[in-house]
Structure 1
Amino acid sequence: MGPPALYALLMLAVPLATIFAYTFWTQDGLTIDRTLTFSNYREAFNDPLYRQLMLRSVWIAGAVTLATVMTAFPIAYFVSFHVPQRRKALWIFLITIPFWTSYLIRVFLWKVILGYNGVLNTTLLGLGIIDEPLSFILYNANAVVITLAHAFAPFAILPIFVALEKIDRSLLEASRDLGETHLTTFLRVTLPLAMPGIVAAALIVFIPTIGDYVTPRLVGGPDGLMIANMIQTQYLRLNDAPMGATLAVLAMAIVAVISALVFLASRLTARIWA
């Protein structure tokens, strides 16, 4: 355990501790004033811009997580319960195909699809469904949610699929033999047993989404920027590493609290179902 522990300490613990230490320092021109202070935290809590970006990041990440899990579950359920065993590997292979292309290419493709004269607006105009191009689907939070939901869909499908595959099919047969319908069997047997996969998918999507800055920068516009974009600005444009570190620590704290609440809620739900 020695070498892996040392590697984790050097690559994870030391950088995080360094970032945390920066939050108590201030930027003095091109140098760092290492006098301990809580001014960065006071500014982060009192500045309405930082609060707005933090709340928007949580809202976008939550919307992406909800949309991704709700669209991923039917796909995982179909592959697990309705695809023959010999073809499941092929379906999983097809689900991972988006990983073959660059993340940036997928984001730019969504710009082409959602643009004012993009594929979606052109199609809707050609079908006569709309009279003028839709302007609310690009360069705002909606575009960020759509793009991130597509990008993280495989991350949600795979853990849900694994959880569904572990369900003993005889339990479903026993439920039907005891008089339950397909719907009640799903609600009382399948869904509770699949909950670990759903929770894992939600956390896998939510945690990286709240820290994404590429997608908001490319398709979000002014109304779609998130806290990660402000962290990047603090480090690279404003040359204020302590404030950037403070915002990063606060974002990590929010993610940790929300993740803990989701975990506790899932445990409580499991007990209620039991």
Structure 2
Amino acid sequence: MRTRKEAPTVTTTQFTRLMRSEGMRGFTLMSPTLIYALLLLAIPIGVIITFSFWTQHYLDFDTTLTLKNYAIIWEKPIYQTLLFRSLIVAGTVTLVTVVLAYPIAYFVAFRVQDHKAIWIFLITIPFWTSYLLRIFAWKLVLGYDGLINSTLINLGLIDEPLSFILYNMNAVIVTLSHAWLPFAILPIYVSLEKIDRSLLEAATDLGDKPLMRFLRVTLPLSLPGVIAATLVVFIPTVGDYVTPKLVGGKDGVMIANFIQIQFGKANNWPLGAALAITAMVCVTAVAVSVAGFIKFIGSRIR
């Protein structure tokens, strides 16, 4: 006659061993950060997702779950146009900042021998001033009577102020690129600084010229920093609404401006939440695709 197997029980010794294990110690150290992230990130996002499935009726919310807000987004071309424009602007800003940041980070990592801390200090100086102050500074530079137009007119190169450098997408791209450039330099610099110099010496001993050494060794090993810089710049740029409002004009409006309007003047929080979730999903998809593409290019270079 078969006897039914008893369910295994956890003894006191096993429980004590589990609590003293390295994994449990790591989880204990991680718990405060995890709770902090849940309170400040997961819960607000959950609230926004919930709002996106509600509808607004004057000053009250209809909590009946519906996809009406998402249907409105994909039925009205204006929202699709703004989302596409925001992705284009963010992609252009990311490309410009990474292209400008890489040579600066490379110079500090490989060419500066002494006082690197001073160079890093100089890179972070823009953080000392208000973000709004930097935007207004660019308005003075790009304005109709600003530095660029005044200089060109005084030199006789133009007869009237240039109109394409302010209150359009060009002004938004220039201003955002300047604002986020330090954020792109730092992760690339850290990635370049960690490269083992003996690998470069080995490549030289094997006959690689400086260009091939850079393409085969330096660039692939620095791609984690490039990916980090890309994500750090691209993701928040899509959600920027202050810069487009101040220097973008009607041709520089982005999706974040409409989200702000829905939560503000329009008082339509559910539609604003649906716009935010849609933008977040699109940004995540594009960011993951770009990061995967960069890693693929790095593997092909090697």
* Smaller-chain TM-score bracket: over 0.9
Secondary structure of the corresponding residue to residue 32 of structure 1: strand
CA-CA distance at 1:50 after TM superposition: 0.4
Q: Spell out the pairing of 1:23-38 with structure 2 (5 A cutoff).
A: 23-38=52-67
2:223–2:295 CA contact under 8 A, matched in 1: no
The change in CA–CA distance for 1:78 and 1:2 in structure 2 (over 3 A counts) is closer
Could you tell me which residue of structure 1 aligns to residue 186 of structure 2? 158
Matched letter for residue 143 of structure 2: G
Could you tell me which residue of structure 2 aligns to residue 128 of structure 1? 156
Could you tell me which residue of structure 1 aligns to residue 46 of structure 2? 17
Distance 2:96 2:156 in 1: 28
Select the residue among 40, 50, 54 that pairs with 2:69: 40
The change in CA–CA distance for 1:139 and 1:175 in structure 2 (over 3 A counts) is same
Matched letter for residue 223 of structure 2: M
Could you tell me which residue of structure 1 aligns to residue 18 of structure 2? none
Distance 1:34 1:64 in 2: 39
Select the residue among 99, 113, 121 that pairs with 1:70: 99
Distance 1:15 1:176 in 2: 52
Select the residue among 79, 83, 93 that pairs with 2:112: 83
The change in CA–CA distance for 1:167 and 1:98 in structure 2 (over 3 A counts) is same
CA-CA distance at 1:87 after TM superposition: 1.4
Q: Spell out the pairing of 1:165-244 with structure 2 (5 A cutoff).
A: 165-244=193-272
Matched letter for residue 240 of structure 1: N
The change in CA–CA distance for 1:169 and 1:129 in structure 2 (over 3 A counts) is farther
Could you tell me which residue of structure 2 aligns to residue 252 of structure 1? 280
**Higher deviation after alignment, 88-97 or 186-195:** 186-195
2:135–2:175 CA contact under 8 A, matched in 1: yes
Structure 1: any 5+ residue segments left out of the alignment? none
Q: How many residues are matched?
A: 273
Structure 2: any 5+ residue segments left out of the alignment? 1-29
Could you tell me which residue of structure 1 aligns to residue 79 of structure 2? 50
Root-mean-square deviation (CA, aligned residues, Å) is 1.1
CA-CA distance at 1:265 after TM superposition: 1.5
Q: Spell out the pairing of 1:100-119 with structure 2 (5 A cutoff).
A: 100-119=128-147
Select the residue among 176, 181, 186 that pairs with 1:148: 176
2:123–2:182 CA contact under 8 A, matched in 1: yes
1:126-185 CA distances to partner (integer Å, 9 max, x unpaired)? 222323211100000000000000000000000010111011122222222222211111
CA-CA distance at 1:37 after TM superposition: 1.0
Normalising by structure 2, report the TM-score. Answer: 0.88
Distance 1:78 1:127 in 2: 34
Matched letter for residue 297 of structure 2: T
In the alignment, structure 1 residue 94 sits paired with structure 2 residue 122? yes
In the alignment, structure 1 residue 261 sits paired with structure 2 residue 289? yes
Distance 1:75 1:258 in 2: 26
Distance 1:159 1:32 in 2: 44
Secondary structure of the corresponding residue to residue 56 of structure 2: strand
Matched letter for residue 102 of structure 2: F
Secondary structure of the corresponding residue to residue 115 of structure 2: helix
In the alignment, structure 1 residue 3 sits paired with structure 2 residue 14? no
CA-CA distance at 1:187 after TM superposition: 1.3
Matched letter for residue 47 of structure 2: T
The change in CA–CA distance for 1:163 and 1:244 in structure 2 (over 3 A counts) is same
In our comparison, the structure showing a higher alpha carbon Rg is 2
Secondary structure of the corresponding residue to residue 27 of structure 1: strand
Distance 2:211 2:160 in 1: 42
Matched letter for residue 67 of structure 2: F
Distance 1:31 1:43 in 2: 19
Matched letter for residue 178 of structure 1: L
Matched letter for residue 184 of structure 1: M
Normalising by structure 1, report the TM-score. Answer: 0.97
